[in-house]
Amino acid sequence: MEIIDLTAENQDAIEQTATLLFEGFKEHWPDAWPNIEAALEEVQQSLAPDRISRIAVDNSSNVLAWIGGISQYNGKVWEVHPLVVRSDCQRQGIGKALLADLEAQVSKRGGITIWVGTDDEDNLTTLSAVNLYPNVFEHIVNIKNLRRHPYEFYQKYGFVIVGVMPDANGLGKPDIYMAKRVGTWLKN
């Protein structure tokens, strides 16, 4: 496996990446990219000069996974948007490798934090299908993963939950915000 830039010149990889995005999100997040055209538009947007777009490919140039980064707060913070790994390649360290690569890319650009919003639209955690108000933080502290929600994947890589937007995707469908510092920690 090799991690490379996704470029506008590599039309085959762009099409594979769009298919991967559509397929990877349709089960639990069907409204994210409801069709291949929407996925292709997202991939095209990721090629902008102020963004990061990296793919993991095998020896035959098949796209195994994709990660994107969006600069925010004048480049100090970068959003992971999106991260998707082909279903038959999951649990092999590819997602972790892409996160490490994105972290290195962000660090080179002077970024100090990466964050991700990881929605729960399909009752995958105890934060879904409940009223999180008024004790949002109590719910966060007691979160449980019910059915392979990706927040635990991010936790294993060092992300922490920094907040939740209750009802972000409809009643009882929150967005879970997670973040991680990149680079060197400042000494006190």
Give the mean pLDDT per block of 10 residues along the chain (188 residues): 97 97 88 92 96 98 98 97 95 96 96 96 95 96 95 95 96 97 66
pTM of the model: 0.91
Q: What residues are paired with 117 via a beta bridge?
A: 177
Token pair 């793919």 is found at: 55
Strand pairing report for 77-85 and 113-119: parallel
Angle between helices 11-25 and 36-45 (to 10 degrees): 120
CA separation for the pair 182, 29 (Å, rounded): 28
What was the pLDDT predicted at 28? 77
Set out the domains of the chain in order of their start, with CATH numbers. 1-111 (3.40.630.30), 113-188 (3.40.630.30)
Bridge partners (DSSP) listed for residue 119? 175
pLDDT at 57: 98
- Going along 58-112, which residue ranges are E strands? 63-72, 77-85
| Predicted pLDDT of residue 186 | 53
Dihedral of CA atoms 67, 32, 153, 3 in degrees, nearest 10, equals -10
Phi and psi of 82, rounded to 5°?
-100, -175
Q: Do the Cβ atoms of 111 and 78 come closer than 8 Å? A: yes
What's the chain's length in residues?
188
Q: What is the pLDDT of residues 2-50, one digit of tens each?
A: 999 999 999 999 999 999 999 998 887 788 899 999 999 999 999 999 9
